[in-house]
Amino acid sequence: MAERAFVFGVDLDGTCADFYGGLRPIAAEWLGVALESLTETVSWGLPEWGIDRSPGGYERLHRFAVTQKELFRVLKPMPGAPVALRRLSVDGIRIRIITHRLFIKYFHKIAVQQTIEWLDSHDIPYWDLCFMQDKAAVGADLYIEDSPANVRQLRVDGHSTIVFSNSTNLDLPGPRANSWNEVVDLVLAEVGRWKAAHKDRGELSGE
């Protein structure tokens, strides 16, 4: 029987992709305000930008950003994310992308297409691409997330989860990474522990 690979569950927006940096100029256009008026230090839901008080709220902004501005295709990657994921993949780690980008109805095809094009254009390796809200349902040995709600739920369910730091999650306890170099170190350390545990149970052969 083939040995099972270590599975790393990877969030996209705010973790691999600079979601807030990419959305900010689009939000300024949509709101009709100067870019400088929208702070870069935000909390979850973007109340600092007044999105909740705008017509249609966040859902309307999100639809505009994806369908009219191709948000998911033009986002910049977080510094170091593509090369870090390539390194982990070469080390035999199975990259499982898990994202909740399909939370708004009727433009799933566009969101999926833009996501695949973005991953390919930045040469980000992955074995699996999962679009779902319940990220624990697809399973992984280790997750990385920026969403406070997702981090809390994954940990409540007993899943090891790295917090990728941004202004929305600074109150969460570690383990946390402030850069993708730190992500690599944390993942490799967890892989080492995982291999030792599985070898002790006879599930991995000696190297």
> pLDDT tens-digit profile of 42-56?
998 899 999 888 888
Other Cβ atoms closer than 10 A to 151: 23
Is 117 a residue whose pLDDT tops 90?
Answer: yes
Per-residue pLDDT tens digits for 130-182: 988 788 888 899 999 999 999 999 999 999 999 999 999 999 999 999 999 99
Catalytic residues: 11, 13
CB 114 within 8 A of CB 70: yes
Can you give the pLDDT at residue 172?
Answer: 96
Share of the chain above pLDDT 90, in %: 73
- The pLDDT of residue 21 is 96
User: Rounded to the nearest 5°, which phi and psi values hold at 9?
Assistant: -85, 115
Closest to 14 (Cα-Cα) out of 40, 32, 38:
40
pTM for this prediction: 0.90
